[in-house]
A = this chain, B = another copy of it.
């Protein structure tokens, strides 16, 4: 099975980074998910970095990683910085496939999730 890396921006505020880690715990505890491992990484201001997070999954045996940008807006971070960080990892790990998904704000599952939140 693939592994999942949830990529957040990262914050100077430790509670915000912990909020992302708790979200990963909740994703991990969903029934019947299809991932060997589910971890978090941060673009900046927190650790692990994206290359570190990908490498940690690879060291646990992952050969196929789904990289999910936990971002609302399609700005430079999503369009450039995250792909560059993944490329940095891939240059040294050619045997690991990393598949980058749409960011949260553009994900097809979000509209229904929003309706569910408000009910």
Q: Contact residues of A with B, CB < 8 Å?
A: 4, 6, 8, 11, 13, 15-16, 19-20, 23, 26-27, 29-30, 33-34, 66, 68, 70, 72-75, 101-102, 104-119
Q: Are A72 and B72 in contact (CB under 8 A)?
A: yes
**A30-B111, A110-B113 given as contacts; is B16 within 8 A of A75 (CB)?**
yes
This chain: copies in complex:
2
What is the bound-complex CA distance between A16 and B77, given in angstroms? 13
What is the bound-complex CA distance between A81 and B61, given in angstroms? 45
Q: Are A23 and B110 in contact (CB under 8 A)?
A: yes
Contact of A68 among B4, B108, B117 (CB under 8 A): B117
Contact of A117 among B33, B102, B118 (CB under 8 A): B102
Q: Chain B residues with Cβ under 8 A from A102's Cβ?
A: 117
Q: Chain B residues with Cβ under 8 A from A101's Cβ?
A: 117-118
Q: Are B30 and A112 in contact (CB under 8 A)?
A: yes
